[in-house]
Amino acid sequence: EKFPPGPRVIPIFGNVLQLNLKSPIKDLERLTKKYGKVYSIFFGSRPLVVVNGLEAFKETLVSKAFDFCGKPQDIMFNYAFQVQAHAPGVVLADYSPIWKEQRRFSLMTLRNFGLGKQSMEQRILAEISHVTKVLEENAGGTMDPHLLFHNAASCIICQVLFGKHFEYEDEFLKFSVELFHVTSKILNGPWGILFIIFFLFFWSWCLFMIGILCCFYCDKVIFFFNCKNVIFTFYVQIYDAVIHESQRVANTVPLSVFHETSKDTELMGYFIPKGTMIIPNLGTALNEDGQWKFPHEFNPENFLNDKGEFFKPDAFLPFSAGPRMCLGEGLARMELFLIMTTLLRKFDFIWPEEDGKPDFTPVYGVTLTPKPYRMKIQLRATQ
Where along the sequence are the contacts to ligand HEM (CB under 6 A)? Answer: 90-91, 103, 210, 213-215, 252-253, 256-257, 318-320, 324-328, 331-332
Rounded Cα–Cα distance for residues 115 and 69 (Å): 25
Nearer to ligand HEM, 242 or 325 (CB): 325
| CB of residue 275 to ligand HEM, shortest distance in Å | 17
**Nearer residue to ligand HEM within complex by CB, 90 or 304:** 90
Name the residue nearer to ligand HEM (CB basis): 213 or 249.
Answer: 213
Nearer to ligand HEM, 31 or 115 (CB): 115
Beta pairing class for 265-267 and 38-43: unpaired
- In the complex with ligand HEM, the residue whose CB is nearer, 7 or 328, is 328
Q: In the bound complex, what is the minimum distance in angstroms from residue 337's beta carbon to ligand HEM?
A: 12
Q: Supply the minimum distance, in Å, between the C-beta of residue 247 and ligand HEM.
A: 7
Burial (CB count within 10 angstroms: exposed 0-12, middle 13-18, buried 19+), residue 368: middle
> By beta-carbon distance, which residue lies closest to ligand HEM?
328
Are 383 and 132 in contact by the 8 Å Cβ rule? The answer is no
- State the minimum distance, in angstroms, from the CB of residue 214 to ligand HEM: 4
- Count Cβ neighbours within 10 Å for each residue of 316-330 and write b for 16 or more, e otherwise: bbbbbbbebebbbeb
> Shortest distance, CB of residue 250 to ligand HEM, whole angstroms?
9
Judged by CB, which is closer to ligand HEM: 152, or 332? Answer: 332
Contacts within 8 Å (CB) and 24+ apart, 13-22: 13/44, 14/41, 14/42, 14/43, 14/44, 14/45, 14/46, 15/41, 15/42, 15/43, 16/42, 16/43, 16/44, 21/188, 21/189, 21/190, 22/189, 22/190, 22/364
How far, in Å, CA of 134 to CA of 278, rounded? Answer: 43
Cβ-based nearer residue to ligand HEM, 295 or 323: 323
Q: Which amino acid is at 278?
A: I
Where do the DSSP E strands lie in 147-252?
A: none
Minimal distance in Å, beta carbon 256 to ligand HEM? 4
Q: Which is nearer to ligand HEM, 180 or 319 (CB)?
A: 319
- Closest separation between CB of residue 319 and ligand HEM, Å? 5
What kind and span of H or E run contains 147? helix 146-162
Residue 127 burial (C-beta neighbours within 10 Å; 0-12, 13-18, 19+): buried
Number of neighbours of residue 83 by Cβ within 10 angstroms: 19
Q: Where are the beta strands (DSSP E) in the chain?
A: 38-43, 46-52, 142-143, 259-260, 265-267, 270-272, 277-281, 347-350, 363-364, 368-369, 375-379
Find the shortest distance in angstroms from Cβ 320 to ligand HEM: 3
What angle is formed at CA 124 by the lines to CA 119 and CA 125, rounded to 5 degrees? 95
Give the count of beta carbons closer than 10 Å to the beta carbon of residue 203: 14
- Is 155 among the annotated ligand-binding positions? no
Residues of the binding site for heme: 326
